[in-house]
Amino acid sequence: MPEPAAFQRAFDAALRDDRHLAWRDRALARAMNVHRNTSAKAAQDALADNYPVVRALTGDDPFSACAAAFATLRPPRDARMCFYGEGFDAFLSTYGPFSGLPYLADVARLERMVVEALFAADAPTLDGAALAAGLDLESPLRLHPAARFGRFDFPAAGIWLAHQDGAEPDALDQLDWRPAAALVTRPDGAVRVTPLAATACGFLAACAAGRDLGEAAAAVADADIQTLFSTLIIAGAFT
């Protein structure tokens, strides 16, 4: 009986290519084919669950074809399928059938941030009233473990929000299609996506690097720091 790790490696190799099994044991080859199809379907279903806005933008059938191509190229490496899809945004940026939808990669990157925020560690969010009572410009602000942020070439946050329950029917038509930033947080256990000006990432990056509040504010000297700070506190960006 092989060691578990050796068996798993051999099983994974057979799932990828069982041509060497076909001439040795056709029944085993057929069984492996069934298992391969089941595994591929599970990966495609997980991708659809983890990237619902991308799926909505492309349509179910085109997304299924794309998911099948991605799963073939990058099969799951983690039994926790809720995390499946790392690198999907980069894959979309070169996927020919979706070349007419250049914003898909940005939306996929944002949806990856949503997944990461959903399963990040718990921590209390910073209380704005308590902070205001003892604001110290020389103290650093720590980002919440669930906080994710980034700049995008397209309004990824607006696109995502337009596909959520309760969004206005014409929300997509009202978008300003310019580069923007987004913040993903999880206050009170619910994931929240907040559109930000692109310059806001400088403030958040300074906080993530351990800079004190004064230095972080200096990184966005041209921004309305009071409004930005209030937005970040309400979104639950800090702990």
The pTM (predicted TM-score) of the whole model is 0.83
Look at residue 193 and give its three-state secondary structure: strand
Q: Under DSSP, is residue 2 helix (H, G, I), strand (E, B) or coil?
A: coil
* pLDDT at 65 > cutoff 90: yes
Mean pLDDT on 105-118: 98
Q: State residue 219's pLDDT score.
A: 83
Write the single-letter amino acid at 174: Q
Residue boundaries of the structural domains of the chain: 1-101, 120-239
pLDDT: which is higher, 139 or 72: 72
Class of domain 120-239: alpha beta
Residue 15: pLDDT over 70: no
H-type alpha helices, the chain: 4-16, 19-22, 26-50, 52-58, 60-73, 88-93, 104-118, 128-133, 156-162, 200-208, 213-218, 225-235
pLDDT at 30 over 70: no
Using the predicted structure, report yes or no on whether residue 29 has a pLDDT greater than 60. no
153, pLDDT greater than 70: yes
pLDDT digits (tens, 9 = 90+) for 76-98: 988 899 999 999 999 999 999 99
